[in-house]
Copies of this chain bind each other. A is one copy, B any other.
């Protein structure tokens, strides 16, 4: 299994990982047994859930984790101080002594519950940090964004169009891959279709329409009907143009629609806003669409890429119906695609206004995740040689939860998840039907008794020196997103002020954390 990008490898890291590993090595600590948790502290986009993604890709990274001779040579030149023994160690390390537990790819995850727990020699686990954060952060963010956009779009389809707005080639590819994982219906990115089997979408851009100036640029006027007979296609289009009184449209645009339909008579979808959506684009589309229908083809619809999308979609739909009534010829439902600067807020606003859009193409706002363009994933040391570690902070909510721990999801009577619970590694999991005390991680006063109807462990062992089982396929992960979002209570999903989902510690873990915290904190002297 190879990573998707040629850039993924042990050199895709921050320099300090290597200087730290070197310092561990020098003080003989590199083989200490370390446990790191990878998690985040806040759900993105003002929401209350996050989709975990990128896990299959970290397995590919870990499986191929090895420094080459030229990597070592580069580091030797670069590090402020080099020891040949450290170089020798670097050259021979791999992940055969590392164990990784993770939530299944596509799971819903919540703040502070580890997405991944990495255990193994301190030096090696440290060297994995930056790459793991890179490979989990954006995928989880964009998958979450996609899941939210699907919620906002209701029953409508949503397709990703963001390649040109992404952070370079792989930004675009990651966006396509993980937006599909998060629930989108397809992508325009051909490479993503080729590499990951994601359904592809897209027809024409303004350049195609602008490339034609007039009807005389149509080089041949015929099109074979679905029975294979050549027919005078341009003549048919003109017949409908006359009949509908659409003479006052842009002829270059009409020529472009005709030639496009000749190339792709099935599924003809026209971009209608190059000159004037209602004055030219929609009328031109309709003339071509009726002609196609007469030849036995099923035209698909239009794409709106500017202007007031609610208004234009409703007016376009009305023009479709009006033309059907006037000709007495009826289409199967025509599709209206919309694609200009759409984001979550636009979708909710369109829902309120009413619209006739069937499919949204989302580019910029999907890939850039503008309202929160990064997920603050962190990778924190929580145990070393069996001793739990804690990282303090001026900000209490940034104090890490120490120790090797497990986590489970408590399912309530009605089948909804009610809380995630973290426990020490040695504590038994709660049992269905037995009540368990769930403590807020920081606030002693916030505690609840929960009697779960079911208890689901959250992590599985995915790497134990080698692959354990098979990484989830993209389709499996996508299905899991759908199932888990479906089973989440509605109020956790609403766009405005959703109810926080409870993440809690067992009483045991809570008390243990408090004790360690007090031991580590310096009592200040103020004078």
Contact = CB atoms under 8 A, between A and B. Distances in A.
Nearest to A17: B205
B174 A391 contact: no
Interface string A5-40: 111110111111111101111111100101010000
Interface residues of A, number: 129
A14 B260 contact: no
Given A8-B169, A129-B205, A522-B276, A263 B163 contact: no
A506 interface: no
A392 B174 contact: no
Given A381-B211, A394-B306, A188 B7 contact: no
Contacts of A387: 213
Contact of A6 (B6, B78, B172): B6
Interface hub of A8, A16, A200, A274 (most chain B Cβ within 10 A): A16
A408 interface: no
A34 to B, nearest CB: 7
A166 B164 contact: no
A490 interface: no
Interface in A279-317: 279-280, 306-307
Contact of A267 (B16, B32, B80, B367): B80
**Quick one: which of A190, A193, A201, A368 has the most chain B CB within 10 A?**
A190
B163 A174 contact: no
Contacts of A134: 163-164, 166, 168-169, 172
A12 B169 contact: yes
A275 B520 contact: yes
B122 A211 contact: yes
Interface string A398-427: 100000000000000000000000000000
Contact of A15 (B15, B71, B201, B393): B201
A171 B164 contact: no
A20 B392 contact: no
B391 A16 contact: no
B172 A12 contact: yes
A522 B23 contact: no
A462 to B, nearest CB: 20
A398 B275 CA distance: 12
Contacts of A274: 391-392
Contact of A191 (B12, B16, B280, B521): B12
Contacts of A208: 20, 23-24, 126
Contact of A5 (B23, B25, B170, B380): B170
A27 B218 contact: yes
A253 B82 CA distance: 24
B171 A205 contact: no
A172 B16 CA distance: 16
A504 interface: no
A134 B164 CA distance: 4
Contacts of A32: 211
A262 to B, nearest CB: 6
Given A26-B262, A81-B263, 15 more contacts: A3-B169, A6-B6, A13-B190, A16-B203, A18-B190, A29-B219, A81-B266, A134-B164, A134-B166, A137-B165, A167-B171, A210-B384, A211-B381, A273-B394, A364-B376
6 contacts: A12-B190, A167-B171, A168-B173, A277-B394, A367-B374, A368-B373
